[in-house]
Amino acid sequence: MKEDAVAKAKRYYGYFALITNETMDAETALELYRNKDVMEKAFGNLKERLNMRRTLVSSEQSLDGKLFVEFVALIYLSYIKKQMQYTVLLKKYTMQSALDKLDVIECFEAPGQQVRVGELLEKQKEIYASLGIDPPSSL
């Protein structure tokens, strides 16, 4: 081991403290702190991916409906994040890159005909399998 290289790298190591009103062990506190980033990304998803930057509704009832759909979408995003943590997906993809891979699946609808789903790539099938979800198929 190169002692001087190790010493040089260690001088940049640091400490940080998390202060809370709750009683919990260090691992739980750190996990909660790191999950804060998940919430920030979730709101980023609301703004960008789910087009919630401006509500663009004409009534309070429409706003309630849109907020409900956005809330359900966040629940799904939370589930996907949790499943990615428990599987090998987090080693291969970020949450954003996994969603981007699934975002390109095409769905064709025509009046009076059944819905048709475009071809799934192997990586897309792998993501669905890792999440424990049946991939979409034509009806």
- Average of per-residue pLDDT values in the chain: 83
For residue 127, which of 75, 70, 94 has the smallest C-alpha distance?
94
Task: Name 107's Cβ contacts closer than 8 Å, sequence gap at least 6.
Answer: 115, 116, 117, 118, 136
Q: What is the rounded CA–CA span in Å between residue 60 and residue 58?
A: 7
Where are the chain's structural domains? 90-139
- Give yes or no for a contact between 73 and 47, defined as CB atoms under 8 angstroms apart: no
* pLDDT: which is higher, 77 or 60: 60
Write phi, then psi, for 117 (nearest 5 degrees): -105, 135
pLDDT of residue 124: 92
Q: What is the rounded CA–CA span in Å between residue 74 and residue 45?
A: 8
| Mean pLDDT value of segment 113-121 | 88
For residue 108, which of 100, 99, 119 has the smallest C-alpha distance?
119
> Would the pTM count as exceeding 0.85?
no
* pLDDT: which is higher, 9 or 16: 9
| Token pair 């087009």: residue | 51
Statement: residue 13 has pLDDT above 70: yes
pLDDT of residue 106: 87
pLDDT in tens, 67-101: 888 888 888 888 888 888 888 888 889 888 998 89
Distances (CA, A) of 115 to 101, 107, 108, 128: 21, 7, 6, 20
pLDDT of residue 94: 87
